[in-house]
Amino acid sequence: MRPLPYLLVTFAAALATATAIEPRNLVQNGGFDTIEDNRHPHAWLNISHENHLQKCGISLEVPNESGNSFYRITKLQTTNVGLGEQIVPLDPPVKRIRVAVRLRTNSFQRGEVEWQAPGLAFAWTTAEASGRKDIGWGKWLLATGPSKEWIETERVLDRPESTTGIKLTVLGIGWTGVVELDDIVVQPVE
C-alpha cells in the first residue's frame, strides 16, 4: 500500500495536467458560421439599421468558400458606421488576452487618416451602477493594404484591473471597398 502523501501528490499532478487546457476562444461566432434570419451573423449586434446601410452604400453578407464562412463588407461611401459589435465578458482571473482577426482586402481605399481602414476596434468595458461603460480604445487591428490572401493580425493586451470585458467593433470608418473578416479571436494568455 502506498503512503497517503504520495497519493495526494499523484492526484494533484493528475488534476493539474487535466486542467492545463488550451485557451478557448471567448468570442461567440468569431468564424461567422451561424447566420440569423436577417442574414446577419449570430451574436454580433448590427449597430446600423438596414435602411441606413443601404443609404450609405453598404452591403453586408456572409458568403461561404469551400465550407468556410466569413463576413464580407462592400462599402461604396466613406460614411462612418459600425458594422457589427460584440461584448466579450472576461472572468476575474484573466489578466492578459490575445485579440486576433483574419482579413482579406481585395480592394479598399483608406480614408484621410491612418486609422480610417477596415479592421477590428476594441475598447475595455466596466460594469457600473448606471450600466456598462467603455474605457480606452486600444490600438486597433487594421488592414494595411490590399491583399488577395487572408492575413492574420493580432495583439496581446494587458487587461486593466477594473474592467469586466472587451467590446469588439467591426470598423466602417472612412474607407471604401470590399473587405472580408474571419476567425475573430479573444483568448486568455498566461
pLDDT score recorded for residue 7: 44
Interatomic CA distance for residues 1 and 47, integer angstroms:
65
Tell me 90's DSSP state.
-
Which residue has 461604396 as its cell numbers? 76
Please state, in angstroms and as integers, the Cα–Cα distance from residue 23 to each residue in 96, 121, 188, following that order: 12, 22, 6
pLDDT tens, the chain, 190 aa long? 555 555 444 444 444 444 443 579 999 999 999 988 777 899 998 777 778 888 888 888 999 999 999 999 999 888 877 788 999 999 989 999 999 999 999 889 999 988 888 999 999 998 876 667 777 777 789 998 889 999 999 999 999 988 999 999 998 888 999 999 999 999 999 8
Domain 23-189 has CATH 2.60.120.260: yes
Other residues' Cβ atoms within 10 Å of the Cβ of residue 110: 18
Rg (CA), the chain: 20
CB 46 within 8 A of CB 73: no
